[in-house]
């Protein structure tokens, strides 16, 4: 499979731009003064399934309560709602912007605050995803997944994509975004190359030992950390693991099916080989200038073949 053509990358970017343009923001009389809601939600409520009714109801109920806290400088929404393509399974990625001087005190009472803003069912902090400012919640009933990220006002501009501002107390948030463009999320191909062949050897040792659950989990990691980001890069999309690959990179998604396996030693070995071949091909297609680890590649791949042959 060859790398995505410029036309294919442009087509993806055009589709993404069209979704965001179609979304737009409009004031709705049913929402409190000074707040806006995405046209995405406005339109979707009219379809037969009322797919995004829960999302809209949560936002319209919670935002006025958040607004009452004088320490909150504004609220924005990110994720699929901001990108203009939410569906019934989407979560709500809410950014709560806090005045710098009040940030530490707010961080100590986040769960209590969320419980005063909405019907909190369960929630926990996001250290496991590398984001301690995050509170991951279920609200309801009916159940809705909502992520609350609390950020200092001075840190609001640090982002990889633009959120949509729902409420901007002093007008500073919009100005902040305008002055500071989002950072381009880069894929460090040298970082991956330095590790990939060690990872291949690791997977082969688990296969040789017969730890197939471990191998299956390891294959998922390779898709998430290496192959999924490379697939997104091929079509000009931001690397986000395997998120939305079926829609943004369907050819690559079909190729990745070869890296799946059931609880079968032979199939697991073939899936590992498929990971190796896709990595080689997709890395070559990037034409990136990196220092290849040829010696490690040769030894790790030979070890994998030896383990597979021994199991035959």
**DSSP letters for 14-43:** HHHHHHHHHH-EE--TTSPTT--EEHHHHH
Predicted pLDDT of residue 272: 98
Which three-class secondary structure state does DSSP give residue 144? strand
Predicted pLDDT of residue 5: 56
Predicted pLDDT of residue 28: 43
Predicted pLDDT of residue 33: 56
Query: Which residues is 146 bridged to in the sheet?
Result: 92, 137
Predicted pLDDT of residue 11: 55
* Alpha helices (H) in the chain, listed in sequence order: 6-23, 39-44, 53-67, 79-83, 103-108, 110-117, 172-179, 189-209, 212-222, 228-234, 245-248, 250-256, 265-286, 294-311
Tens-of-pLDDT digits for all 312 residues of the chain? Answer: 445 555 555 555 445 444 443 343 333 434 555 565 654 554 443 443 356 889 999 999 999 999 999 999 999 999 999 988 899 999 999 999 999 999 999 999 999 999 999 999 999 999 998 899 999 999 999 999 999 999 999 999 999 889 999 999 999 999 999 999 888 778 999 999 999 999 999 999 999 999 999 999 999 999 999 999 999 999 999 899 999 999 999 999 999 999 999 999 999 999 999 999 999 999 999 999 999 999 999 999 999 999 999 977
Secondary structure element (H or E) that encloses residue 153, with its range: none
Measured N-to-C along each axis, helices 294-311 and 265-286 cross at an angle, to the nearest 10 degrees, of 160
pTM for this one? Answer: 0.78
Residue 283 near residue 230, CB atoms below 8 Å: yes
Predicted pLDDT of residue 207: 98
Residue 228 near residue 241, CB atoms below 8 Å: yes
Q: Please enumerate in sequence order all residues whose Cβ is within 8 A of that of 253, keeping only pairs 6 or more positions apart, or say none.
A: 231, 245, 246
Which three-class secondary structure state does DSSP give residue 147? strand
- Beta strand pairing status for 144-152 and 92-98? parallel
Q: Please enumerate in sequence order all residues whose Cβ is within 8 A of that of 161, keeping only pairs 6 or more positions apart, or say none.
A: 78, 82, 83, 182, 238
Expressed in angstroms, the distance from the first to the final Cα of the chain is 29
Q: What is the DSSP letter of 226?
A: I
Predicted pLDDT of residue 168: 96
């Amino acid at each position: 499979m060859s790398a995505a053509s410029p036309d294919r990358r442009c087509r993806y970017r055009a589709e993404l731009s069209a979704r965001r343009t179609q979304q737009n923001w409009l004031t709705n009389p049913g929402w409190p003064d000074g707040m806006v809601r995405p046209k995405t939600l406005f339109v979707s409520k009219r379809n037969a399934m009322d797919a995004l009714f829960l999302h809209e109801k949560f936002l319209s109920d919670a935002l006025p309560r958040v607004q009452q806290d004088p320490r909150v400088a504004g609220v924005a929404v990110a994720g699929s709602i901001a990108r203009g393509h939410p569906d019934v399974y989407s979560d709500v990625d809410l950014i709560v912007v806090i005045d710098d001087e009040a940030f530490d005190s707010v961080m100590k009472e986040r769960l209590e605050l969320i419980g005063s803003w909405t019907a909190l069912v369960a929630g926990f902090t996001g250290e496991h995803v590398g984001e301690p400012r995050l509170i991951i919640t279920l609200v309801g009933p009916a159940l809705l997944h909502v992520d609350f990220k609390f950020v200092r006002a001075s840190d609001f501009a640090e982002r990889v994509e633009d959120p949509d501002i729902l409420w901007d107390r002093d007008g500073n948030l919009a100005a902040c975004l305008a002055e500071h463009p989002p950072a381009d999320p880069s894929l460090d191909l040298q970082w991956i190359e330095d590790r990939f062949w060690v990872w291949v050897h690791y997977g082969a040792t688990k296969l040789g030992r017969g730890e197939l659950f471990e191998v299956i989990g390891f294959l998922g990691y390779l898709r998430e950390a290496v192959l999924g980001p490379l697939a997104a890069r091929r079509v000009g999309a931001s690397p986000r693991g395997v998120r939305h690959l079926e829609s943004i990179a369907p050819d690559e998604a079909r190729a990745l099916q070869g890296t799946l396996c059931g609880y079968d030693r032979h199939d697991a070995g073939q899936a590992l080989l498929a990971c190796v071949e896709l990595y080689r091909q997709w890395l070559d297609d990037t034409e990136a200038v990196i220092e290849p680890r040829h010696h490690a590649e040769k030894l790790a791949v030979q070890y994998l073949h030896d383990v597979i042959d021994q199991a035959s």
